[in-house]
Every structure is written in structure tokens, then in C-alpha cells.
Amino acid sequence: MRMRPTLSWTPAEDLPPGSTDPEPVVDALRSGGVLVLSGAGISTESGIPDYRGEGGSLSRHTPMTYQDFTAAPQARRRYWARSHLGWRTFGRARPNAGHRAVAAFGRHGLLSGVVTQNVDGLHQAAGSEDVVELHGSLARVVCLSCGACTPRRELAVRLEEANPGFEPVAAGINPDGDADLTDDQVAGFRVVPCTACGGILKPDVVFFGESVPPQRVEHCRELVRAATSLLVLGSSLTVMSGLRFVRQAALAGKPVLIVNRDQTRGDQHALTRISLPLGSALSSVSLRLGIPVD
């Protein structure tokens, strides 16, 4: 049975409207020790759509689940055909003002860490260091049999060689790098095996229906414990993957601040939610702090 990712949530209580004043974020950063938790919304200004915002991809696209991927060769063919095409566009995305602001905050010693739910590598491309990729990275490929981890660019070359002339026109690109292609467009696409053992290759990301590795979750919990506050950027917090850290911070009495245009599942735990576009909001914050954003 195909699993359907969680599309939305229903507030259990009336939540206050978002603010347009980023000053609480400025105050938190001035105090230092801020842990950033980012979601797909921080990458939309780089041309990568989000899952659940206005026009989010989940309204028209069901991402591959771990169960489907491991169960059927045709599911893997569908995934790798679509992902191979999407990788070309995904790989051209560049950091936006939001990513650059987070990197600048880190360089000036205001952050205790960065945890991202994104798999696009844009925080690192902007200059952020020691980023915890909660859901992994599309830049790596792992073998499900022997565990060998290799760069995605190497797989891209092998897929090009195995599928010469594969140039279908996609209807769109999704946050997981998956291009919208029809079954007819992916028919005949050749999937390549692990060069070390011949096993099944999978992107080194956490699929829907798959759990984040426990040691990675615990590392993030340690970061929350060490932080003075938690700053959520561009996440709806619909799924427990990120929401658990918001709940942990709030339970420990640490301020939670959210910058997201729409309501989130974590609003009830937050000191404030800033309802502004991330790029302009974080640029304003950096300006008030006197920190230049490259």
C-alpha cells in the first residue's frame, strides 16, 4: 500500500497571528548560543519548492517511500529516472539571502549550531560549518547491501552513460530533487548497481516512511540542550522529525522563535512567529545586528 506523507495539520487551539517585527530574533542572536533549525522554506528563494506551503509539491506529488523503493525494481527505475533529471536542476541551485545570513551569524559566533531538514546542501554552499543534515544529502549515494557511500556526481556520470539521449521535459522539480515525469517518460530507463558489490543504490537521504538514524536524533537533542534558544526557519513542523526539537526546547524553558509565513505546528510552543519572507526577514535582522551578508 502506497504511504501518503502528512499534508497538513489542524490546530488544536486558536493560535495568534504572526508578527512582522523581527526584533525578538535580533535580541536572541545578540545573546548568542542560538540553534538554527531550517526547513524547505529557506530554499524556496533559491528556486527549490517546498512541500507544504502555498503551492507546495505535496498537493500534486507523492514522494517515494522507503517501502516502495526497496520492494520493487520498477519503483527504483521510476525514482532514479526522475531524480537523475531533477539532479541537473537541483545541482544548479545557489544559496539565497537566507542561507547567507545564517552563515554570517555563524561566522560572528552567534550560533551554537545549524540543523537542517533540507537535503540540498545550500547552507554549506553559503559557508555554514558543521551543519547537521537531519534527513541526509542528495550529494551522496549509499549501497543498501555493502554500505559503500559515494558522491552523487559519480552516479550521475554512470547514469548518463547507461541512458544516452535521456532528455525528457519535466513538468516541475520537487524539494527532494524528483522531477515530475510520466510513466511513459521513465519506461526503459536503466538503473545501475553498486560498483563494489552489485547491490541496490539509494540516495543518502531519509525517505518518507524511513526513520532518522537514532544517533543523529540524539546529536540534535544534545545541540538543543546546549543552546540558549531555538530559531526555526522555514519549516511547517508538520512532522515529528523537527517538531520534537521544538517541544524539547520549550519543555526546557528555552525560547523558541519561528520565521515562517504560514502557521506552523510549533506555534503554540513559540515565543513568537515572524510572518515574513525569510530572505528579507533575515537580511533585516543582519542589518540591525550590523553584520554584513556576503
Q: Is the pTM of this model over 0.75?
A: yes
Residue 56, pLDDT above cutoff 60: no
pLDDT tens per residue across span 127-156: 999 999 999 999 999 999 999 999 999 999
Active site residues: 135
Contact present, 200 and 144 (Cβ < 8 Å): yes
Say yes or no to pLDDT of 41 above 80.
Answer: yes
91-105 residue pLDDT tens: 788 999 999 999 999
For residues 150 and 201, give the distance between their C-alpha atoms in angstroms, rounded to a whole number.
Answer: 10
Report for 16-20, 60-64, 78-82, 181-185: range of highest mean pLDDT: 78-82
Residue 273 pLDDT > 90, yes or no? yes
Helix (H, G, I), strand (E, B) or coil at 114: strand
| Contact between 36 and 111 (Cβ < 8 Å) | yes
Q: Which residue has the cell 505546528?
A: 265
Dist CA 199 CA 137 (whole Å) = 20
- H/E stretch holding 115 reads strand 111-116
Mean pLDDT computed over 260-278:
94
Examine the domain organization and report whether 228 and 260 are in the same domain: yes
pLDDT band at 51 (very low <50, low <70, confident <90, very high): low
The residue segments making up the domain with residue 78 are: 58-92+136-205
Which residues define the annotated binding site?
39-59, 117-120, 143, 146, 194, 197, 234-236, 278
At 109, which helix (H) or strand (E)?
none
Residues 265 and 153 in one domain: no
Whole-angstrom distance between the N-terminal and C-terminal Cα of the chain? 48
pLDDT at residue 107 greater than cutoff 90: yes
Query: Mean of the per-residue pLDDT values for the chain?
Result: 90
Shared-domain flag, residues 146 and 231: no
- Per residue in 16-37, pLDDT tens? 788 999 999 999 999 999 999 9
Angle at 120 between CA 119 and CA 123, to 5 degrees: 105
Q: What is the pLDDT of residue 9?
A: 56
What pLDDT shows up at residue 250? 98
Q: Are 269 and 281 found together in one domain? A: yes
Question: Binding site for Zn(2+): which residues?
Answer: 143, 146, 194, 197
Mean pLDDT of 108-114: 98
Residue 67 near residue 4 (C-beta atoms within 8 A):
no
The rounded distance, in Å, linking the Cα atoms of 187 and 181 is 10
Domain boundary among 147, 175, 205: 205
The pLDDT score that the predictor gives to residue 290 is 96
- CA dihedral over 160, 76, 189, 165, signed as positive or negative: negative
Residue 114 lies in a domain: yes
Q: Which of 162, 186, 205 is the last residue of a domain?
A: 205
Kindly state the DSSP code that residue 65 receives in the 8-state scheme: B
Contact 37, 27 (CB under 8 A): no
pLDDT band at 174 (very low <50, low <70, confident <90, very high): confident
Annotated binding site for NAD(+): which residue ranges?
A: 39-59, 117-120, 234-236, 278
Q: Angle formed by the axes of helices 152-162 and 73-90, to 10°?
A: 110
Which of 147, 177, 205 represents a domain boundary (last residue)? Answer: 205
